Amino acid sequence: MRKCIILGGGVTGLSAGLVSKFPIYEAKNIPGGICSSYYMRPKSNRKIYYEPKDQEVYRFEIGGGHWIFGGDEEVIKLINSFSKLKKYKRKSSVFFSEKNQYVPFPLQNNLRYLDKNIISKALAEISSPKITNPTTFSDFLEKNFGKTLNDLFFAPFHKKYTAGLWKKIAPQDSYKSPVDIEMIKEGAVGEVSESGYNADFFYPEKGLDEFSRNISSKCNIKYNKKVIKIDINDKRILFSDGTYLKYDLIISTMPLNKLINICGLKVDEKEDPHTSTLVLNIGAIKGNACPDDHWLYIPDSKSGFYRIGFYSNVDKMFIPRSSRSLNDKVSIYVERAYLNKNKPSKKEIKRYEEKVIKEIQSYGFIKDVEVVDSNWIEVAYTWSNINSKWREKAINLLGKYNVISTGRYGKWKFQGIADSIKDGLIVGNKLINEMAEK
Ligand SMILES: Cc1cc2nc3c(=O)[nH]c(=O)nc-3n(C[C@H](O)[C@H](O)[C@H](O)COP(=O)(O)OP(=O)(O)OC[C@H]3O[C@@H](n4cnc5c(N)ncnc54)[C@H](O)[C@@H]3O)c2cc1C
């Protein structure tokens, strides 16, 4: 039988390993990749990877709030079999911090919250959308939503969310910003039904860490195995600890751009860009003006973040046990996008943390801070140059050398946890059959 190995023990690699039983090689010493919760005691700066028995901890996540949306029945069932899921109804808003104004998400379906002159201008512009042939992401937004709404929200928000790339990259994820003219008109005068890609979502009762740990316990996973080179001709993987491994076939879940480099391959097309995210996790005394939203989209933050999420507004399990009935504490994540070349130094992160805390204290969301911790996600959001074929070319080229690149980062495609799990299941099942036949 030929030897197949999986690179990466995030949710994609774990799902592939679960069904195929092929060994997984993971760079870190914990499973789950970005989908991992961790815990911190108030006034401490130590990450704990298991929830302590007394539960006197804040629960955070490496990649900020990771809520499970979409996903077919099979995937939801599978997650539920490893860690019991709870269902939540989304509550989120756009928050204009300068005016202290909230508009329920999605903004375009809730125009009644805006000034009258904005509503009439927006309706006139949006009712004759010219969606034909948008060139860039920014062009797509302006053509879909019209100048007024674009200037007010879509442009400043996406500028922050894409770290300034929005004027260069191709339109993407249009389902996140749906345009339904009838709903927009209805929402200008009254309530409309909830819509959008994440109107309901799931989260494991005992945290994503429990899910990742439970699924990994059914896999053959080797930790602290960071791949630094793949010799595609000799079919040999070199790890950072100096050991190597022969293979016949690789399923890789690491980011596509890194995989191409590690394999020493060249794609005859300009590499597609990505953005990095700095996730700031904060545990604090709840402020008097803390909203009850699960997350807020903020187009005008002074410190540069684009989204604040409130883990503990989704579930009280995210704050220390003694505060759950008092509801006097809050567990928050704050996301800011960067271009990788602008990666902040430790000193800059410290300064940024202080600025963010001051800013959200000035909103009245928090009082004293008990714990703050940041995580750098180097390849967080993947984008495409206009008319780019880089992604397809890179995946096809790797395929010629028996390297299958899959998952959100392997396919260089915006998708959530559920779709990444699905990728792992599909490739794991397909290969176990193929390998057995040979
Ligand atoms: C800021 C942010 C917020 C998000 N929010 C949500 C959300 O709310 N809901 C949702 O459904 N999805 C969300 N996602 C998407 C979700 O995180 C991904 O779909 C999912 O985690 C992808 O899993 P993966 O296993 O493919 O990748 P990863 O989790 O990145 O796993 C890849 C694994 O490969 C390992 N690896 C990398 N390089 C090497 C190497 N050289 N050698 C060995 N191992 C290596 C890594 O350590 C990692 O464990 C979010 C993503 C980001 C960035």
Say yes or no: CB of residue 105 within 6 Å of ligand 1.
Answer: no
Query: Stretch 286-290: mean pLDDT, rounded?
Result: 98
Q: What is the pLDDT of residues 375-419, one digit of tens each?
A: 999 999 999 999 999 999 999 999 999 999 999 999 999 999 999
Which protein residue has the closest C-alpha to ligand 1 atom 49?
33
Residue of 229, 254, 376 with the most ligand 1 atoms within 8 Å of its CB, for mutation: 254
Rounded Cα distance, 309 and 61, in Å: 11
92 alpha carbon – ligand 1 mean position (Å): 23
Which protein residue has the closest C-alpha to ligand 1 atom 35?
8
35 alpha carbon – ligand 1 mean position (Å): 6
Q: How far is CA 166 from the centre of its chain?
A: 18
Residue 423 CA: which ligand 1 atom is closest? 26
Say yes or no: CB of residue 70 within 6 Å of ligand 1.
Answer: no
- What is the DSSP annotation of 192-242? ----STTSEEEEETT-HHHHHHHHHTTS-EE-S--EEEEETTTTEEEETTS
Residue 381 CA: which ligand 1 atom is closest? 53
pLDDT value, residue 194: 67
432 alpha carbon – ligand 1 mean position (Å): 23
**What distances in angstroms separate CA 152 from CA 115, 121, 147, 298, 359, one per listed residue?**
12, 12, 8, 11, 21
On whether the CB atoms of residues 83 and 51 are closer than 8 A, the answer is no
Say yes or no: CB of residue 377 within 6 Å of ligand 1.
Answer: yes
80, two tokens: 């539920």
Which of the 8 DSSP states describes residue 385? B
Which of the 8 DSSP states describes residue 342? G
Say yes or no: CB of residue 250 within 6 Å of ligand 1.
Answer: no
Residue 348 CA neighbour count, 13 Å, CB half: 9
pLDDT value, residue 340: 83
Residue of 14, 24, 34, 229 with the most ligand 1 atoms within 8 Å of its CB, for mutation: 34
96 alpha carbon – ligand 1 mean position (Å): 30
For 380-395, give one letter per residue: b (16+ CB within 10 A) or e. bbbbbbeebebbeebb
267 alpha carbon – ligand 1 mean position (Å): 24
pLDDT value, residue 181: 84
Query: Stretch 91-120: mean pLDDT, rounded?
Result: 96
pLDDT value, residue 70: 81
Say yes or no: CB of residue 76 within 6 Å of ligand 1.
Answer: no
Residue 226 CA: which ligand 1 atom is closest? 42
Say yes or no: CB of residue 291 within 6 Å of ligand 1.
Answer: no
Least confident of 21-35, 134-148, 155-169, 296-310: 134-148
pLDDT value, residue 119: 95
Say yes or no: CB of residue 155 within 6 Å of ligand 1.
Answer: no
* DSSP-H helix ranges across 131-172: 137-149, 155-161
40 has pLDDT over 90: yes
pLDDT value, residue 182: 86
pLDDT value, residue 143: 86
18 has pLDDT over 70: yes
400 alpha carbon – ligand 1 mean position (Å): 25
Say yes or no: CB of residue 309 within 6 Å of ligand 1.
Answer: no
Say if strands 295-297 and 307-310 run parallel, antiparallel, or are unpaired: antiparallel
Query: Stretch 314-336: mean pLDDT, rounded?
Result: 98
Say yes or no: CB of residue 211 within 6 Å of ligand 1.
Answer: no
Q: Under 8 Å CB-to-CB from 85, ≥6 apart: which residues?
A: 68, 76, 79, 202, 203, 204, 205
Query: Stretch 16-21: mean pLDDT, rounded?
Result: 96
Tracing tokens 């990444």 back to the chain, one arrives at 420
Rounded Cα distance, 157 and 309, in Å: 15
Which protein residue has the closest C-alpha to ligand 1 atom 41?
227
371 alpha carbon – ligand 1 mean position (Å): 24
Q: Under 8 Å CB-to-CB from 285, ≥6 apart: which residues?
A: 328, 329, 330, 366, 367, 368, 369, 370
pLDDT value, residue 435: 73
Say yes or no: CB of residue 227 within 6 Å of ligand 1.
Answer: yes
On whether the CB atoms of residues 327 and 318 are closer than 8 A, the answer is no
Residue 419 CA: which ligand 1 atom is closest? 19
129 has pLDDT over 70: no
302 has pLDDT over 70: yes
Q: Give the confidence band of 432 by pLDDT, cuts at 50, 70, 90.
A: confident
373 alpha carbon – ligand 1 mean position (Å): 19
Q: Under 8 Å CB-to-CB from 122, ≥6 apart: which residues?
A: 108, 111, 114, 145, 146, 148, 149
Q: Which helix (H) or strand (E) holds 2?
A: none
The percentage of residues in the chain with a pLDDT greater than 70, rounded to a whole number, is: 95
